[in-house]
Amino acid sequence: MKASVSVDRAALRSSLLAWYDRQARSLAWRVSPADRREGVRPDPYRVWLSEVMLQQTTVPHATPYFLSFTQRWPTVSDLAAVEDGDLMAAWAGLGYYARARNLLACARAVAGQHGGVFPDTEEGLRNLPGVGAYTAAAVAAIAFDRPANVVDGNVERVMSRLFAVETPLPDAKPDLKALAGELVTEERAGDWAQALMDLGATVCKPKGPLCDLCPVSTWCEAFRGGAPETYPRKARKADRPRRHGVAYVLTRGDAVALVRRPPKGLLGGMLGLPTSDWRATPYDDAEAREAAPFAADWRDRGAVEHVFTHFSLTLRVFAASLDEGAEAPAAFVWTARLGLSALPSVFLKAARAAERML
């Protein structure tokens, strides 16, 4: 690991914290550094909720969800009392539904086993269901001012540049975490974590870092080397695997047939279009018709593409319509076309391809 002994950590810290005092982003869940100095404490529920949402999306995308969640469910106990299906519907569009299920499990544990009060240490938070090392550290630091080492992709990038770490990701992760840990102290621990996040998000950006505006450029080895954007070094990525499937859009009058997906696995517990299995090889026409959930006059409506975290999906779309009142499997949940906008986006794409119905 690159040694960091030459860095004046105290000076680096105070420069970044002073910058944060002037430039902190105004975020819906954040207590500003000025308010913090006045003794305003962050609400751990809001900190936790924002951190879970931000793990899968950007601040602009997460903000309306955060505002809507906290308006509907102002406390963790309110969230704990929600029906699973309501939460899944509210989460639609935030991706990766396992996280929504974990969110609910965690809220219920806090409400049921901790009297609605979040544990105030990293270790206590880590013991909650679905709370990983990163979230525990972030909530411990931001909500409780614990000197936790909060390291996400942004912080890894900043460390890799500050210390010109040549080891490529992902092998460099432990080193980057250790380097970040050397900068953590008891002083303003929550503000420090947020200052690093803001630096990574607004100045030390993946492409085109704004080194001229950077409060820590004095100590940045990558800046001195003249090619900061080339950090972090990256190992060649394996291609994301591709899967193939078929989605079936069956209409009856104004309604569309949906099915409740199994509780575990991708998009678990959500309503979605009926589909074939998703597999490595494409479906030909005969296979696509054979895999349909119901015998009908299926028409080929093309295909849509969707990218999940771990694979890309090519989904052929077949459509058919039934007469009003026609019999159909009881497992179908008939939903008005207008209600389809709450579907996970992969199904919304397929529904749109079938009929341009929305």
* Distance (Å, whole) CA 339 – CA 345: 13
**Active-site residue, 287 included:** no
Please name the residue ranges forming H helices in the chain. Answer: 9-23, 33-37, 44-54, 59-72, 76-80, 84-91, 97-113, 122-126, 133-144, 153-162, 173-181, 189-198, 221-225, 285-290, 345-355
Strands 242-252, 312-322: pairing is: parallel
Closest CA to 176 of 188, 161, 189: 161
Q: How far is the CB of 10 from ligand SF4 (least distance, A)?
A: 17
Phi, psi (rounded to 5 degrees) for 127 = -80, -5
Q: Residue 208's CB: how many other CB atoms inside 10 A? A: 8
The sign of the torsion formed by the CA atoms of 192, 198, 200, 202 equals: negative
Q: How far is the CB of 220 from ligand SF4 (least distance, A)?
A: 3
Residue pair 251/325 in contact by the 8 Å Cβ criterion: no
Q: Which residues bind ligand SF4 (CB under 6 A)?
A: 158, 161-162, 203-204, 209-211, 214, 216-217, 220, 222-223, 228
Closest CA to 43 of 62, 30, 54, 34: 30
DSSP output for 153-222: HHHHHHHHHHTT--SPBTTTHHHHHHHHHTT--STTHHHHHHHHHHIIIIIS-SSS--GGG-TTGGG-HH
**Residue with smaller CB distance to ligand SF4, 162 or 296:** 162
From 51, 122, 156, 221, the catalytic residue: 51
* Distance (Å, whole) CA 92 – CA 245: 21
**Residue with smaller CB distance to ligand SF4, 30 or 157:** 157
Residues designated as active site:
51
